[in-house]
Amino acid sequence: MTDNEFTIVIDTNAPVVSSGKILISASPEKVLAILKDIPKWQDWRADIEYVKLIEQADNSVGTGTRFEWKANGLKYQSKIHTSSNHSFGWTGKTIGAFAIHNWSVDPNGQRTEVKVSESLSGFAINLMRRKMNRELPDLINKDLMELKYRCEK
C-alpha cells in the first residue's frame, strides 16, 4: 500500500497507529464491492449496531460520500476520501477522536491481498493511548477476518 493511492494518508505521528493484512480467496472486485457496500456492513461486521448513508438517496458510494454509524456504543460521522479500483478510505469523528482508515486491495495469484491501516488522534485517544495501542491491532485483525469470512462465503 503506497500513500499516494489515498487522498488522505494515515497520520504516522498520531498517538495510535496500526495496520494489518490478509489473503482472501475472492477477486479484488468482490472484496471491494463488499467493503464499499456500507449499508450492508452490519451484515458482516459484528460490532456495528447501525450504519446509514447521509444524503445518498440511491445508496451509491464514492469519494465524498458521508455516512453515520455506531459500533461498540460510539456513534461516528465519516466521509469517504478515496474510492478507486484498489483503494478505499475514509475519515471518521466521534467524541474526542479522529480516525483515518485506509484499505488497499490487490490481486495475489488466485487470491486477493487486503491491507488496512488506521491512525487515531484526539484528546480522548491521548487519554487512552496505551489501551488503544493494545486494542487497535486486535480490532483491525477482527475486521480483516470478518471481511475474509464474508468474501469467501
For residue 99, what are the domain limits? Answer: 3-151
* pLDDT score at 18: 97
Q: The pTM is what?
A: 0.92
How many domains does the structure of the chain reveal? 1
CATH assignment of the domain containing 106: 3.30.530.20
pLDDT at 22 over 90: yes
pLDDT over 60 at 1, yes or no: no
Tell me which residue of 141, 14, 1, 146 sits closest to 82, measured CA to CA. Answer: 1
Which residues make beta-bridge pairs with 50?
70
Amino acid at 44: W
- Would you say 92 and 70 are in contact if contact means Cβ atoms under 8 Å apart? no
Say if CB 25 and CB 10 are below 8 A apart.
no
Q: How far apart are CA 9 and CA 153, in angstroms?
A: 31
What per-residue confidence (pLDDT) applies to 73? 87
Spatial separation of the C-alpha atoms in residues 130 and 114, rounded to whole Å: 26
Per-residue pLDDT tens digits for 118-145: 999 999 999 999 999 999 999 999 999 9
